[in-house]
Structure 1
Amino acid sequence: MNLAWLIVACEIGFWLFIVFGLVTRYIWNKKKLGLFLLALTPVIDIVLLVVTGIDLYYGSKATVIHGLAAVYIGISIGFGKRMIEWADEQFSYYVIKQGPKPKKLFGMQKAVHYFKGWLRHLISYLIGIGLLAGMVLFLRDTNQTEPLVQLGRTWTVILGIDLMITISYFLFPKKEKVRKTSIG
């Protein structure tokens, strides 16, 4: 199987485990089984990591796709729990019509929320860059690892842009729109 397709399959698998976990938990009322399915999402990362390592070990030239596997794993670990919580909130309110409506954030609440998201991005980045560095050290060939190094540079720029956007929420807090009501 092509590694790019495996990454796509892992992303689809991640969301399938979440959807089936939520359906099992709320619709079929099997809370333990639903939690088990949700807890299996990290197994997908392990599969991707092992397959990527085997692919490189057996002589594949390192490509951006190998690097994307590292990025995917970093993001999955950094954001995985929050993505599951978000899906749980959305599912319980919009699908089964239980639980509180997910609220929109404004002002400092939104700024703090985005800062926490940036911290998750930083954790994802550190994990992903660590995996990229591990691949570079494992391969020990600067010609072969240039795509991995370039991907790391690109991600560094993206992390910096994300930080600037996050800071902008503190400097220019988003205000809740005031609804005008007509009297009469």
Structure 2
Amino acid sequence: MDALKNNPDVLTLDPLAMGIEHRVGPGGRLEGLLEFDEGLLVQGSLSGEIIVRGHLIIWDDGLVKGRVVVHGNTYVFGRIGETFESSEHARLECHGRVCIANGAISTGSIHAASVMLYHGADLRGPVSTFKQDPRLHQQQVDASEEQPIEQPREAQDRVEIHDELDQLFSRGRPRTPVFSR
């Protein structure tokens, strides 16, 4: 499912269709050499040498620093790098698209196939782009052809989205949640 399919000003995320299987919850902290074989949602803190073999979502209070390689798209609502650190402390290499939302902060360096900034995003570090891997594009096309179980809905506020995330990760394999921000 392409998060920007219907309206480029609204970012719609479907964690199950995106393959988000891993989570660093609120208040959680992981450090070191970390590898995730599927997508990852960060609501806490993640630092070190990190490889994500799927999509990465950095939520509102999420913080990611260190060297991060993402083999999917990255959606930033929180922070890449500490607020007052230089770009050396956080480097994101994304083989897909990086979307930096309103209120998100990036002091780290970003190297991606493409970058999309939303009005109100705070970009303080260097950004560069490279040619996208055609295999990743095919995976995105395949994922966009999947039909969600429910019709998408737009969340009215962040509380609704946080409740949806808590429900998603608090019990086994839930119904397919689809929400927008």
Query: Which is richer in strand?
Result: 2
Same fold? TM cut 0.5: no
Name which structure has the greater RCO, CA cutoff 8 Å, separation 6+: 1
TM-score using structure 1 length: 0.22
TM-score using structure 2 length: 0.22
